[in-house]
Amino acid sequence: MARPGLETRFEPQPGFARIKVKPHGNGCRKVWTNNEVSAPTVVPKISTKTGLIYIYTRPSDPSGSEGYYWTAIDYASAKTAWRQYAGSGLGYNNNYAGLAIGPNGTAYLGTIGGIIALRDVR
């Protein structure tokens, strides 16, 4: 149990990096970084069809809101392509469940409240 007055909330630090491995495994180089987005509770997935990396995020909010978002990073540029609000509160907590992308491009994620889905229509 935390001592009174100590902050116990975990604040993940943002950061993604794309690393290119040289042919035959002879070294690597950093292609880009994105310091806007963090994925503290999900393993991101990439879609080779859209060229986007899909993430489930919960940005820090001084109001204490537990807002969860579907977020996409462009694989080629590292720019945050879009962010879509999923919901707030315990029911939207994915509790470290894995993200899956179906053959039709729909992203699925198990949360405490059930399975949620998002389809990128680009």
pLDDT tens-digit profile of 66-86?
789 999 999 999 999 999 999
Instruction: Note whether residue 27 is domain-resident.
Output: no
In a domain, residue 30? The reply is: no
In a domain, 2, yes or no: no
pTM for the model stands at: 0.81
* Domain membership flag for residue 95: yes
Q: Please, is 56 exposed, middle or buried when counting C-beta atoms within 10 Å of its C-beta (0-12, 13-18, 19+)?
A: buried
Is 32 part of any domain?
Answer: no
The answer to whether position 1 is within a domain reads no
Asked if the model's pLDDT at residue 10 lies above 70, the reply is no
Domain at 41, CATH number:
2.40.10
List the Cα angle 14/18/19 in 5-degree steps: 130
Count of domains forming the chain: 1
Helix ranges, 1-122 (H): none
Which range marks the domain in which residue 110 is found? 37-119
**Among 4, 8, 16, CA closest to 79:** 16
